[in-house]
Structure 1
Amino acid sequence: MGARAVIGTVVVVGVLVGGAYVADGFARGEAEDRVAEELRTGLDGLDESPEVTIGGFPFITQYLAGRISTVNATAQEVTVDGVSLQDVVVDLEGVTTESPITAEDARMTAHVPLAGLLEAVDLPLEVAIVDGALTATAEVFGLPLDAELVPRAEGRSIGIDIETFTLAGATIAAEDLPAGISDQLDAIAIPLDGLPEGIELTEVVVDRDGFAVTATGSDVVLERATAG
């Protein structure tokens, strides 16, 4: 084959490959828009379409196979059971292309501002973050009661554990508190039942002005259930 023929073949192959790349990119963009819109309409508390990025190449073969390898979605804010989740990042693997959209594996991270949480949940104490620690104050028999709290992941809710009690400046054990006080404190939990089916909280830590939360799950349904 002469040099001209070789060059011509390379040009044709390049045009075909380039066209396929452009077509694949177009289909990927259309799919990202579709997934974003379905997430917006299918999930409670998501008022605006999230930013969606589909990974893996080529996309078209993934779509035809009915399974997208990776999907990343980000949203500025999602409201779950009245609680604001901000800077939400969701990483999905093994996402189906047919309804209901499900993911084999899912991981979500978000920031939960304490101020918004206190507005959504009626807690029995004055709660604040002081020097990076979660604290609570109350009054017992006219004396100041201070408690150091630790948040924890509790399935589909944020639980609150009591680390220490200080009454009028003296550290005391929970069992020495007046009847009902320690029980009331131990019962503090913030439900997040509105998370997608199949996903649960795995980590909650104090962060800035609130909590940094992580949730994971398998076979996660990403659409709102419809009444039958």
Structure 2
Amino acid sequence: MADSYPVQDEAYGEKPRRRRGRRALVVLVILLLVLAGLLVVADRVAAGVAERMVAEQVDKEISRKNIQSTAPEVTVGGFPFLTQVLDGRYDSVKVLLRDVQGPVEGTEATVKVPELTVDARDVTASLDTLRSGQGEVTAKTVQGTGTVTYDSVVALIDRPGVQLREQEGKLGVTAPVQVPIINQELTVQGTANVTVDGDDIVIAFDRLSSADLPDNPVIQTFVNNFARQLTVRVPLPPLPFALQLHEVRPLPNGLSVTASASDVALSEVS
């Protein structure tokens, strides 16, 4: 009996030590999780500060271009953000401009782009620039995408009853035309050639047809002349960041435009 007491004491002494070890491990894990959470929060807070700074400078840039839009919405990509800050280089900066619009010189029409998304890649901004708001933010490449509403284009055509739509990947039109030769109004349809000329979208209709169109070359010539009168240039609002228009595609909700630029100053404050 006496010999069994040390074994019992040893067993009773081991259990508290094991429990204390497990508690210490749990506390360490919790502390690490809290620290990781704080680092994530700090990272996101720093990213938010940078996004506000870039948004302010972008707002100044588009104001210089006389572009009307809502306040820029900026998202800085890449994680973790703080390591990008120390390096002074960022994976991407995305800018969303809503309700972009600009007047067309010599007319009362307005070209409307409900959303213009600008995606800047390989962005460089020093820590001093982020801290002071003074300096330069540059991007190796910038791509902008948006959609010009069909209402804007119809307003520029300025012909009553004209309707535009996407038709099997092309720009389709339906329009009424009064044919004096037969003293009759016909509804004509056709597709357009859509091209880019500088910062303008050029829409040209070469030939229109109608199920009710008489087989008469004189009337066909009249309708073809009417088609050419529908040709219109759609000037985009001045694009920020030296973006150059290079592609236009008809979509169900409007003309999708794509523009790009290289080695661009997103903001420059003197």
Task: Give yes or no for contact 1:71–1:93 (8 Å, CA) kept in 2.
Answer: yes
TM-score (norm 2): 0.63
Which structure shows the bigger proportion of residues in helix conformation? 2
Alignment of 1:154-165 (within 5 A): 154-165=197-208
CA displacement at 1:75 relative to structure 2? 3.1
Determine if the alignment matches structure 1 residue 199 to structure 2 residue 223. no
CA distance in 2, matches of 1:220, 1:131: 33
Task: Give yes or no for contact 2:165–2:252 (8 Å, CA) kept in 1.
Answer: no
Task: Give yes or no for contact 2:67–2:237 (8 Å, CA) kept in 1.
Answer: no
Alignment of 1:54-93 (within 5 A): 54-81=76-103, 82-93=110-121
CA displacement at 1:140 relative to structure 2? 9.4
Alignment of 1:1-228 (within 5 A): 6-43=25-62, 44-81=66-103, 82-97=110-125, 98=129, 99-119=135-155, 121=156, 123=157, 127-129=162-164, 132=167, 133-135=171-173, 142=180, 148-166=191-209, 169=213, 188-192=232-236, 194-223=238-267
Task: Give yes or no for contact 2:154–2:163 (8 Å, CA) kept in 1.
Answer: no
CA distance in 1, matches of 2:214, 2:140: 51
1:27-74 deviation per Cα after TM superposition (whole angstroms, max 9, x unaligned): 111222222232223214243223222111111221232222112232
CA distance in 2, matches of 1:148, 1:155: 22
Task: Give yes or no for contact 2:120–2:139 (8 Å, CA) kept in 1.
Answer: yes
Unaligned runs of 5+ in 1: none
The 1:66/1:171 distance shift into structure 2, 3 A limit, reads farther
Aligned identity (percent) is 28
The 1:47/1:171 distance shift into structure 2, 3 A limit, reads farther
CA distance in 1, matches of 2:257, 2:204: 16
CA distance in 2, matches of 1:138, 1:57: 56
TM-score (norm 1): 0.72
CA displacement at 1:113 relative to structure 2? 1.1
Partner amino acid for 1:23?
A
CA displacement at 1:80 relative to structure 2? 4.1
SS in 2 for 1:149: strand
CA displacement at 1:86 relative to structure 2? 0.9
Instruction: Supply the RMSD in Å over aligned alpha carbons.
Output: 3.9
CA displacement at 1:139 relative to structure 2? 6.5
CA distance in 2, matches of 1:72, 1:31: 12
1:127-184 deviation per Cα after TM superposition (whole angstroms, max 9, x unaligned): 43157443375879846796632323334221223342459937999xx969xx69x7
Greater shift in the superposed pair: 90-99 or 23-32: 90-99
Unaligned runs of 5+ in 2: 1-20, 104-109, 130-134
Partner amino acid for 2:213?
G
Partner amino acid for 2:243?
I
Greater shift in the superposed pair: 164-173 or 123-132: 164-173
CA distance in 1, matches of 2:37, 2:24: 20
**Residue correspondences, number:** 219
Which structure shows the bigger proportion of residues in strand conformation? 1
The 1:221/1:47 distance shift into structure 2, 3 A limit, reads same
